[in-house]
A = this chain, B = another copy of it.
């Protein structure tokens, strides 16, 4: 029923090769809100608009795709992500005016403390709060890509520990809860959250306490050896 060629000429040479790129949604939390690293495009198409950092796969340099993703980020910032994950590959004829393109979409997270001040960022780079991004304000279909990444982040934050990668090196349980509430887009219950995080054996007390605030709070850090933790049940 399909209108495809039934012979096996699929593997014949000189096919029109599609364009293959990698795009990275690089996320961080600051000011109590998710922010994303954007690049202001300096050429057509979509010149002057904001876009996700991305680029062509370099067949001669990149051993695999996650390396492309890291390279693309390194070209724009000096910030190595604390976490990176391949999300999905999106392709179509219409998503880029230059022709049929495929892009491998990555989600990357960087902690608040590693991110530090944003002064050494190139001036075409900018962290933008997600709340301030109007729909359709990103170039190409990058708004949709961002939605896919957000969806993945929200989903995984409900049953894994990946929001820990967004927290500063030392944090209180209340701050951790706030970060998880941002990434899960829900309000969490204090006792349940604390019990869950502490029972998981993935963070440890530093011994120090906060100095500001109404009452001193215990400071925690991620255990060195800990990878992504999968909780036995979802939260929220």
Closest-CB distance, A103 to chain B (whole angstroms)? 10
Of the listed stretches A6-14, A132-140, A195-203, A219-227, chain B binds A6-14
Find out whether the CB atom of B10 lies under 8 angstroms from the CB atom of A56.
Answer: yes
A102 interface residue (CB < 8 Å to B): yes
Interface residues of A in 1-28 (CB under 8 A from B): 1-4, 6, 8, 10-11, 15-20
A113 interface residue (CB < 8 Å to B): no
Query: Which residues in B have their C-beta under 8 angstroms from that of A213?
Result: none
A89 interface residue (CB < 8 Å to B): yes
Query: Which residues in B have their C-beta under 8 angstroms from that of A88?
Result: 86
Q: Could you mark each residue 220-236 of chain A with 1 if its beta carbon is under 8 Å from any beta carbon of chain B, else 0?
A: 00000000000011100
A117 interface residue (CB < 8 Å to B): no
Closest-CB distance, A92 to chain B (whole angstroms)? 5
Query: Which residues in B have their C-beta under 8 angstroms from that of A1?
Result: 74
A110 interface residue (CB < 8 Å to B): no
Q: Could you mark each residue 42-62 of chain A with 1 if its beta carbon is under 8 Å from any beta carbon of chain B, else 0?
A: 110000000000011111110
The distance in angstroms between the C-alpha atoms of A11 and B6, with both chains bound, is 36
Residue of B whose beta carbon sits closest to that of A94? B63
Closest-CB distance, A59 to chain B (whole angstroms)? 4
Find out whether the CB atom of B75 lies under 8 angstroms from the CB atom of A4.
Answer: yes
Find out whether the CB atom of B18 lies under 8 angstroms from the CB atom of A59.
Answer: yes
Find out whether the CB atom of A11 lies under 8 angstroms from the CB atom of B89.
Answer: no
With A232-B233, A233-B233 known as contacts, the answer to whether A93 contacts B63 (CB < 8 A) is yes
Give 8 CB contacts A-B under 8 Å. A4-B58, A16-B59, A18-B59, A20-B102, A57-B91, A59-B100, A65-B90, A89-B89
A residues neighboring B (CB under 8 Å): 1-4, 6, 8, 10-11, 15-20, 42-43, 55-61, 63-65, 70-71, 74-75, 86, 88-93, 99-100, 102, 104, 232-234
